[in-house]
Structure 1
């Protein structure tokens, strides 16, 4: 069965619709896209002709919006409920997407959650009066929710440095060119968000794994901070190194590859 657009004889939408949202491909039912009356997607797919909507090179309906955050828009359209992962950092951006797609109830829920989180994170006015004995220890802190997603993320980088002929000379380090990220798609996107460059592996679904993503910056500390904020802990690390020149009369160029394994 397909939906016929009023006033456009012979113009129909298929029951299964393919979307390209900011480079991310989604496949869903037409009933899902039109689940909320007066929303932008409802208007596009019930009041417009398929010929009126922009398409990509493969014929998918194209929307120039945040492809990562659209998964939550689609989840809301399916269930009329909002479910976000723990440590989700993109509430304000998701609220902006909800406003664009004309989903006022979703936008309201995001605004309320954002306000409640701000209140919970506010420090008490008398925090400075607490003595060391009354300051909560790490063992007293609320543990991570058992229902949160667990898994592993591996962060790797390749670096090189030159050691001069003079033993006393300092090693000359070269800037790390790229930090790679390996793990489950959904988990890596939850942690690194829009700092994750997906151009080398753009079309894999969230339930699959990748070893081709890399970060848009090259400071390991930034990656470690994000992982720590998301509740990850380092489980292991390994490193290898090779020397490209063994001639004692020449500078030695060393190349190393290091991986850090984090788990939650």
Structure 2
């Protein structure tokens, strides 16, 4: 029996691939539906097939490729969620309340008091980045099948800001914006930690993940 599979795309274009390639994602429509690509651009499908040949499913695209939105939109209906994630830019916002507390023995030495690190972003991406460090107790839910759900109610189980930054950097995120401001509603009390309370936000962005030649 032939190992070659033909995929018919829009405008009568036909792409050739193998059953082994499609078996990388056995439950995708590429494997189960012969007409799944009939209205798809052959160039987009070719990029997906090339990604499936790689163990990490990373994307390799021409230097002048700029149709990321179309690639990201066409992948999920075909069941290629990993490719859709790689093709989409991802944003995660990390926020925290911080107070500066004077040392007991030396009042000129200050220590940072951070109670909670809040994480905002796409649920599936936040889980992939922070793993077991992510506390979802305050998130109202939805189901794990909601691939595109966003939340602003995750927080981390630890209170180490630098650890969170290292985790994001290791996953390909880069800091794009940050701001800090003091809550205006607090009544200032000399000597109180609340006098030095401020709120900080850090916005991290991960561009579409492309494998370099």
TM-score, normalised on structure 2? Answer: 0.49
Larger radius of gyration: 1
Larger relative contact order (Cα-Cα within 8 Å, sequence gap ≥ 6): 2
